[in-house]
Amino acid sequence: MQPIIPKNLNPLALGVLNALTQHSESNSIILGGYFALKHYLDYRDTKDIDAWWVQGLWEPDQKRLFNDFKKLIEDFAYSQNMEIRERKTRNMQSMLKYMQTAKQFFSFQIANREIQLCEPLTSPYPPILIETLESSLASRITTFIY
């Protein structure tokens, strides 16, 4: 099954993805989580883009690319009169939250993935990649079990 752009995609998500497609190395990102699943089964809304780094990408490259991507995302956020707040956790390289008057509207988060079941596909936003339906469903099942 090939992913398609959902009918009611969050406009901020679309803006962020369009900004990221301008970077030649955005094929280092794999869309995942409920956001990816929405491209196969448009059954629920989500205010976040969850993404993974492609496997084998060195940490210095992740940091460099994240800073490049952050600049593109910030430019888009400012065009929407929003600000960005960054947060890092142990498992997640960073999360960018779109804020307006202290209320979160949207976030983009990117992390390392320990296990990749299937090779990712080209997303509807090339050159960005997206996990397969099988990978997306398997990660949802794992989430419910643990």
Dump pLDDT digits (tens) for 23-53: 999 999 999 989 999 999 988 888 789 999 9
Please report which confidence band the pLDDT of residue 65 belongs to, taking 50, 70 and 90 as the band edges. Answer: very high
* Domain CATH number, residue 121: 3.30.460
- Number of domains within the chain: 1
Reply yes or no on whether the pLDDT at 145 is more than 70: no
How much is the pLDDT for 44? 82
Q: Is residue 20 part of a domain?
A: yes
Upper half-sphere CA count for residue 28 (Cβ side, 13 Å):
22
- 42 in a structural domain: yes
Cα dist from 130 to 16, 18, 122, whole Å = 15, 15, 6
Q: Taking the complete model, does pTM exceed 0.75, yes or no?
A: yes
Q: Using the predicted structure, report yes or no on whether residue 142 has a pLDDT greater than 60.
A: no
Residue 31 is assigned to a structural domain of this protein: yes
3 domain residue, yes or no: no
Q: Tell me the one-letter amino acid at 43.
A: Y
d(CA 120, CA 59): 20
Residue 38 lies in a domain: yes
Residue 142 CB neighbour total at 10 angstroms: 10
Residue 122 lies in a domain: yes
